[in-house]
Amino acid sequence: MLATALCGVLITGCGGGGGDDDAKAKPAAEPKPLADGALRPLLLSQADLGDGYVQEKASSGEFDDVAVQGCASLEKLEQNGDESMFASKAEISFTYNTASTLGEELHSDRPSVLSSKLRELFGAYTSCPTYSMTAGTTPIEVKVAKSATPKIGDEQFAYTSTMELPSGAQVLKTMAVRKGNVAVMLVGAPALVDRHIETAVDKLPAGS
């Protein structure tokens, strides 16, 4: 999907006169990442979304040659690659009434890793209010603004990007919510992302 975008935990403690047992206490182990196969059943389905949605075929890689210019943090992210940021991943995408799109990615890793890397990812994408990109030989001007998020899950991130394409302006919203060791990310028409983010988060396991 064109312009798909696609995080630290600070533990403090204070005590008055704790004994040796307190000093030896270890923090609880973080939940381990879920496997790819465990993520796939948690993806949104046509039944979850309702009428008018059609699942798209797997990406053909037509936008693999996207390059960013004019935003140092995004260029660095692009060089490092974000496909291997997390331990596991599952994804799906839909069209709505043949005109709008909605893509979903699920990522799993230890909660502290998800948190720090999501902050890094969304921090990079919102660090430059404007930048340029090319898809093949097509130049695209992009404007980015942070967006409000519902108070669901453990952490929430969102931004809206407006891309000036040869066919006209296209607005996409990217929103991610972390719930324990799983993060859901929706990308698509802003109204569709806002409409389905809570459903997507509700599908995540309560103990994740």
In a domain, 208, yes or no: no
State mean pLDDT over 185-189: 97
Any domain includes 8? no
Whether 8 shows a pLDDT value over 50: the answer reads: no
Strands (E), the chain: 53-55, 66-69, 88-96, 100-108, 130-135, 138-146, 155-165, 168-179, 182-188
Give a yes or no: residue 1 inside a domain.
Answer: no
In a domain, 25, yes or no: no
Q: How many domains does the chain have?
A: 1
Inform me whether the pLDDT recorded for 26 exceeds 60. no
Q: From start to end of 35-154, where are the E strands?
A: 53-55, 66-69, 88-96, 100-108, 130-135, 138-146
Highest-pLDDT range among 17-26, 52-61, 161-170: 161-170
At residue 7, does pLDDT exceed 60?
Answer: no
Residue 163: Cβ within 10 Å count: 18
Q: Is residue 84 part of a domain?
A: yes
Answer whether residue 21 is part of any domain. Answer: no
Domain annotation covers residue 14: no
Give the global pTM: 0.82
* CATH code, 140: 3.40.1000.70
Residue 7 placed within a domain: no
* pLDDT (tens digit per residue) in 103-152: 999 999 999 999 999 999 999 999 999 999 988 888 899 999 999 999 99
**Which residue segment(s) compose the domain that 195 sits in?**
32-202
According to the model, what pLDDT value does residue 76 have?
Answer: 87
